[in-house]
Structure 1
């Protein structure tokens, strides 16, 4: 199990996640002015014990974090009671004693039990004045509960440990029960272990179950065995309202969310608004899975008669594009959409075998083109990684195609994560394959990249730090490469993933998944590491394969890349001198000084497929000026590529086509940014799925063209 080290002791991952959740939830809410221990670790441990008591109160009473923090009385004169919580009816009270352990081994012994029972007796004797000031705020409510003839008191043992109590400890608590009970009063004890607290923080970030209603007119069909299911027509405007109310949460169990304004989805919108009566004939329906189905008939209770179906824990597992397109069409022409119908299949997976819902999801996704990546969305490993990111790092991790990538500082996508893990892997073949095509990342099997990267679930820290290092390598490469020219520049462009791989091997992964380690210091080494790697790599290519070897072919060859990696690592380990990179910075006099314009170059060489989704990357100034406007509608960030030399971007926000610069200016106008610059280089602000911009790709193509001209006609 992954974890971190504190004081020489390894902290289990689950304990670390609970710790981080408690810090986020209760920091600033729980009073710690009386904790004056000189060791900051001990002060935090004391805070965590109080926060654990507050979390127990939240779990027991379903109160807010602020209300839970107010239940904490831990401190001098608490008499073994760390928190006092109440039921809404004021006839039930929980007396909580909490024990925190960084190692997850906290226990509750006879001494602790006696202290808790002593506190109960003082309350029963109404010795309220002996308690501390924090308790005095709760004294009236305690009095009200104890004065009730039907009061119930629960002694809560909240421990960051397994929760097992010795026989002697249980006997003490049972004796207190016998002494206290009588005349309708009851007392019992309850144990909350580290497993329950971990479950609690997981539930805090889990998607909330969705309830939907679907109205089917006459002519629907249903079956009850082996699983309850309905099949019939639902008005498209009802589906539009689903999305309007629930958004992308509708697709939580789908292999992907809405893909934005693709050419297929644009056809759906136009069909709904211009020819709604024929929509059902021309387009596929949708599939919904749910936990339960309840029927409400409008008149006669019979098969085929109009019925409203109430669905709990529902998810659209096929047809996300249809539902989202219905919503977009509804925004344009609600009257027309009301005339369109969609075939809807609803399946209750209650009492079905494990994995049946995933089987339905995978089998039904055929309407839009499916990519291999889409099916990782129903891999439970990805859901657990997302959970780990939120609990351990408080960052986002998105893995469904169509989800909006988080800002770089807020998290990453599965594509960026898998690319970074491939570069960090000890086998350079994975870095070579991902350069050839990101699709290789999703291959399964014993030699498949996806299995090798995610088969043993990597921790959030390992992934995040790998992503950070890869980003830093990319930035450093960009800086170094800008000064290079000719064949050296082409090698720097073509070797980006291989350079990342070598830097990973040089820095190593020791402590990469330990939260409190000093691994981040490795990021400060990246710029120097990149320069030393390139200084060895550039001449090694020519030495091993000849000065006339084709660069693209070299870095697409796994055997050649293995030779290069081994050669560079051996040279760096032995301290072999390398040629100064400055030697590669002199531009030949015969070299053309300017490359063709970005968009014609990209279109003419066909390096971007039609339908590729691009994302707008605003500068820091733009983010401050129009960030709120952009975030109000995620579609404003996205455009679809169309191979056209003049207007290659189809903006998802309005369905119109623009040049990259024209679309940036349109965004500024729409956001009413009056202080906007008069000029902008739009291609620099539109990023491809691999993170590079249109300008980056155009420059790489140009360097390859120049290198090819220099070596034209020469053997590889």
Structure 2
């Protein structure tokens, strides 16, 4: 039977993607091999459509499988549901429904994830680059750091081996030490088959269900409600998985904040779960008694045509928690509503689904907006400063010169608190700021409005400086400029004379004028401290969000600044602007490669933007003509690149300067050898450095 289902999925891939999947990099392969690559890429595109519905063309363009895919076949970025969500897809095709996914694939997938978290986008191939603007926007989103789901799209029917699952979960756990940021999902043959069929594939789920303390509604339509145990709900999910959510609008969204909190509640205080959960709503084609049922007591029922229309996250989280620790979660119970559609008018089930999924949840921040400290601040901003202070969600945020909001103030107070732990808390999960213990630490009952406003202005000044610096930064340094705003602000504030911060008559401008210089020093020393304390391959995002790490980094950075020096060995490849072929290492790299004949004549190279500024200024221009981002190598030490766009010869940096000028009108000196890549081998700089190492020379030495 599985072979028949494979053919069905294959037919769908052919129909949807035969004209839009890019196989230009597989032209020389035998037809059978090209067919295999097409099906794998089509499967990745199909997975993308399942996870985030889109047109066939958009799904196909999500795929970048090939050289320098770093273990990831496709990507999608979703910023429509508050916190951004990034999905990374790895697809495995098998005509016999036995697609393999082993430890090697886990390691490759995690390598790609690490590169994305460190904003090392230039490590990926040319087709990946079209998605970088969306990634930049996701990582800069004011709603917080993106949640990332690893989607394994596998044409197989058997479960992954326990060893592979264990390794995958162990690797993912390294990213979730501070908070659950990364999750994974498996789409197997059954999922693909069901998704292609759509509503007609929704399984007819007929189940027995026991309700404790059950009650009922009779008019105008029949409904039951009562308590169900966590093991019973977990068993349902294990058996039916996505089939339970056939009519649900959003599915189960495994890595959302709500889902994580649900799981944590079950694992830490399962006995309270019934009180903390909103419960689950199920639509049923019919509900029949299946034995004795005592109103207010225990009732056994037989349900037919069951679908969870609200509470999909709750169901999924219950399953995850029960799978992780059955002994802790089994005491949990959850409220369940069963609505029978037997005597309902047409379309009533759809109305239930829509209405139960579109009510705005109340957040902890909403309660804090009623706190007297916030009312006091709002009034003081208006009367003392003639500025607006927005407290409630949904109200328009004023322009920076006209005021601020409760969220920005909370971030500023967290960043400038004497204990860097609060900067980590705000960066880790902004919602945690509104927890009573954190909130009371940040906000006095009658906050000093002058101090608050000046701290907001300080945070803005630091962010402005980091944004300016990020224009010429790559890799870990760019990640630091993106994630490290609260850490750097904390260090900067520690270096200012804050004795008069609350004096409205004091010349505070004398302190703020120092901010750009101190911010740059703080950035350099903080990055140096992270590299020194945790290694140059450690995750920047972990250092700024982990309470213990941020404290160690802050102490080291402050010591460094107070020494009156600059870091001795901050990596030179963190910056790409301000250098070109006329300066040292760039000339050496080309000379080395030509002297060793390291690259054969005729090799095609790809241009990959290295900085955020280049991605912003050049993305559209590059997409207009593929020839703009490719060049051919010739072993000429002066002008080794023949640009496909005009057929002329250039040095690597000279060509990048010209491209930047044509794309944006800006003429900036850059390290061109960092921008030109040979797929699967690395940048010209990487190749030259490796060649020097092989010859026993130090990286960057003259040849």
Q: TM-score, normalised by structure 1?
A: 0.31
The structure that has the greater radius of gyration is 1
